[in-house]
Homo-oligomer: A and B are copies of this chain.
Amino acid sequence: MGTDLTIGKLAVLLVVSTPEEEQQLLQVAGRAGYRIYQGRAGSMDPQKIFAAVETAAKRRGLIGEQYREEHALYHSILDAFHGVCRGEVALGSILRSAGLIFAIVRGPRMGGDYSDGEWLAVALYGTIGAPIKGYEHEVMGLGINHI
């Protein structure tokens, strides 16, 4: 996978990989210039999902103090959240809940190619459904922005 590693594919693979695959990915990704964080967020309230990703990115140093970096991250999350919601950017207000794994990746658009500066990718993968156990199906979203 090494040579054609890209920021989006890396984010996607991280949220669908097993723990062993993840360890392998982290090594390959580090060599290609990427910084990464992976976490979990689930809620009927979109705000909590946004906050979980933003907090993780700040704590792990994936974004800096300037507003422009927070702005880049926010729109990556929002773009990924569109993929999760598929038309209506809403969860509990329309009686549905999401349980998600998220990945944040910072680095070049294409592995090893620094000519277009740094980019940020946010991938969200998990389930959406009624607030009843098992009444849910998978969802996926990916947001990418320049930083």
Contacts and interface: CB of A to CB of B under 8 A. Distances in A.
Instruction: Pick from A9, A139, A140 the residue with the most CB of B within 10 Å.
Output: A140
Chain A interface helix/strand/loop/mixed: mixed
A137 B8 contact: yes
Interface of A: 1, 6-9, 12-13, 16, 18, 45-47, 50-51, 54, 66-68, 70-72, 74-75, 78-79, 81-83, 85-90, 92-96, 109, 115-117, 119, 121, 123, 125, 129-130, 132, 134-146
Instruction: Pick from A47, A50, A66, A67 the residue with the most CB of B within 10 Å.
Output: A67
9 contacts: A7-B138, A8-B138, A12-B140, A47-B93, A68-B119, A71-B129, A81-B94, A82-B83, A109-B137
A54 B7 CA distance: 26
Given A1-B18, A6-B138, A83 B81 contact: no
A136 B144 CA distance: 10
10 A-B pairs with the lowest CB-CB distances in the bound complex, closest first:
A8-B138, A83-B83, A68-B146, A140-B142, A50-B95, A82-B86, A88-B89, A79-B86, A137-B144, A87-B87
A47 B89 contact: no
